[in-house]
Amino acid sequence: MWQARASDKAAASSYRLPMAMTTTAANSQLLQTVPIARQALVQADGAIAGFELFNRSRPHNGHTMDSDAALAFTTLSHVEPEALAGQQLLFLNCTHETLAGEHLALLPLHQVVLEIPLLGHAAGHEVQIRLPMLQSLRNRGLRLAFDRFVLESAYAPWLPLADFIKIDLSTLSPERAVLLLQYARRLSSASLVADKIETTSQLKLAREHRVDLLQGFAVARPTLSPARIMVPTLAQVRQLLAQPSLPLAAAYVQRHAVLAYNLMRLMRSLHLDASHACLTIDEMLQVLGPQQLGHWANLMRSVTHARVSEASQDRQAAMQARYIAMQSELDGAPIAFAVALAAALTHDPQISSRQLPQQVQQALGRQAAPTAAYLQQAQAAEAWLADPAGPAPPAAQLRQLRAAMQWADSVQAS
């Protein structure tokens, strides 16, 4: 697939790179905002060595292979021309399933540090099984960071692969922290990162023991960087994957501004625009090559498929929550529905006596508009639900709560 054929070159030769593509893309209604938080990792002299990125559109326990791919896509394709990490190191959390993802081949290898999670109870058996994958990533130029678990005997095969070892100071006494830092120095030549530094005494301890990098609230608090992205439709990505040659793929990309824009952002993120003077989409794809083009298309397919799945989950969640509301014994069904939303949004079973299905909690837990707008009204109505004989909420609040029911109807109809 995507091998250049002479008969196809004419199909792409007339497609020049639109100079106004950036403006067109930025003004598109397809523009979406992803809340990305980043926290600096600082050297002893105060210079910023890198950033750890977090996708704040997901709960802390919602870290999956799909969310890792979405973060990679956002990093590579966000609208702002400057990268989220500039030329500094980029620390990315990942799952073990993510390590086999194609999107890793698209990341700037000289910048990326993958934070490898522990294996839990299966460590003894899984360490050897997953070792070749970690070695392959290291051989490709990616750097690896581990928490202090890598110092345990069960993880001894992984220790030589560590470029960074992160020590969580918030869970250690000063004495224990000093011993662990000394132990890590003896066992490994990896750079030591003092993580979760929350007090001035912890910061002083880390500096006194010459830790390589410092991270935590006492060093630099995370900052929110709303990253704007343009996500193509699933149909567009599938059609791109169906193109039989690079010239035809270039012609297809040129006809779809969202794809063309993401391609240009990818070239910028990989710093290929500086080393190759590409004037056409066809030239860009020639530089990228069939393999990288396949990785890029599959990354977009993963992201678009996940978003389609989320929309389907939201519709199903609305239907289930509305059913719960309609089955309520209370006369104020709109109130019951809003409280059902509130229970899902806050994951607080005390707000509602009804236990929502897990699917509802996951879908509504993203706090996507407009569900979040009803949270405050639902919480205010909780007292009335607990005591129906008490005064009813104001008429204006009831109108807002009834809007929740109208939203449910619209979602069901869509």
- The domain locations on the chain are 6-24+232-308, 31-226, 327-413
Q: Which two tokens stand for residue 233?
A: 């439709």
> What value does the mean pLDDT take over residues 387-413?
52
Q: How many CB atoms lie within 10 A of CB 410?
A: 11
Looking at per-residue confidence, does 51 or 316 come out higher?
51
Contact 347, 374 (CB under 8 A): no
Reported as a pLDDT band with limits 50, 70 and 90, residue 208 is: very high
> What is the reported pLDDT for 125?
80
Q: How many CB atoms lie within 10 A of CB 45?
A: 5
**CA–CA separation, 338 and 405 (whole Å):** 8
> What is the reported pLDDT for 79?
73
In angstroms, how far is CA 22 from the centroid of its own chain? 23
Q: Which two tokens stand for residue 321?
A: 């929550």
> What is the reported pLDDT for 229?
86
CA triplet 88, 167, 121: central angle to 5 degrees? 115
| Digit-coded pLDDT (tens) for 328-361 | 433 444 444 554 554 444 443 343 434 444 544 4
> What is the reported pLDDT for 348?
39
> What value does the mean pLDDT take over residues 104-124?
86
> What value does the mean pLDDT take over residues 268-290?
83
Quickly tell me which residue has 């979040």 as its tokens. Answer: 372
Q: Which two tokens stand for residue 250?
A: 């270039």
| Digit-coded pLDDT (tens) for 215-252 | 999 999 988 877 888 888 888 898 999 998 999 999 99
In angstroms, how far is CA 97 from the centroid of its own chain? 15
> What is the reported pLDDT for 105?
87
Q: Which residues contact 411 (CB under 8 A, 6 or more apart)?
A: 314, 315, 318, 319
Reported as a pLDDT band with limits 50, 70 and 90, residue 78 is: confident
Sign, Cα dihedral of 388, 389, 393, 395:
positive
| Digit-coded pLDDT (tens) for 183-202 | 999 999 999 999 999 999 99
> What is the reported pLDDT for 26?
39
| Digit-coded pLDDT (tens) for 9-24 | 444 444 344 433 443 4
**CA–CA separation, 103 and 387 (whole Å):** 54
Residue 379 has pLDDT above 60, yes or no: no
Pairing state between β 89-93 and 112-116: parallel
- SS3 letters across the chain: CCCCCHHHHHHHHCCECCCCHHHHHHCCCCEEEEEEEEEEEEECCCCEEEEEEEECCCCCCCCCHHHHHHHHHHHHHCCCCCCCCCCCEEEEECCCCHHHCHHHHHCCCCCEEEEECCCHHHHHHHHHHHHHHHHHHHHCCCEEEEEHHHHCHHHHHHHHHCCEEEEEHHHCCHHHHHHHHHHHHHHCCCEEEEECCCCHHHHHHHHHCCCCEECCCCCCCCEEEEEEEECCCHHHHHHHHHCCCHHHHHHHHHCCHHHHHHHHHHHHHCCHHHHCCCCEHHHHHHHHHHHHHHHHHHHHHHHHHHHHHHHHHHHHHHHHHHHHHHCCCCCCHHHHHHHHHHHHHHCCCCCCCCCCCHHHHHHHCCCCCCHHHHHHHHHHHHHHHHCCCCCCCCHHHHHHHHHHHHHHHHHHHC
Residue 93 has pLDDT above 70, yes or no: yes
> What is the reported pLDDT for 412?
44
Reported as a pLDDT band with limits 50, 70 and 90, residue 285 is: very high
Looking at per-residue confidence, does 276 or 301 come out higher?
301
For the chain, give the mean pLDDT.
74
> What value does the mean pLDDT take over residues 148-156?
94
Angle at which helix 65-77 crosses helix 257-269, to 10 degrees, equals 90
CATH superfamily placement of domain 31-226: EAL domain (3.20.20.450)
In angstroms, how far is CA 2 from the centroid of its own chain? 29
**CA–CA separation, 42 and 217 (whole Å):** 12
| pTM of the predicted model as reported, rounded to 2 decimal places | 0.68
Contact 75, 90 (CB under 8 A): yes
**CA–CA separation, 170 and 192 (whole Å):** 15
> What value does the mean pLDDT take over residues 102-116?
90
End-to-end CA, the chain: 37
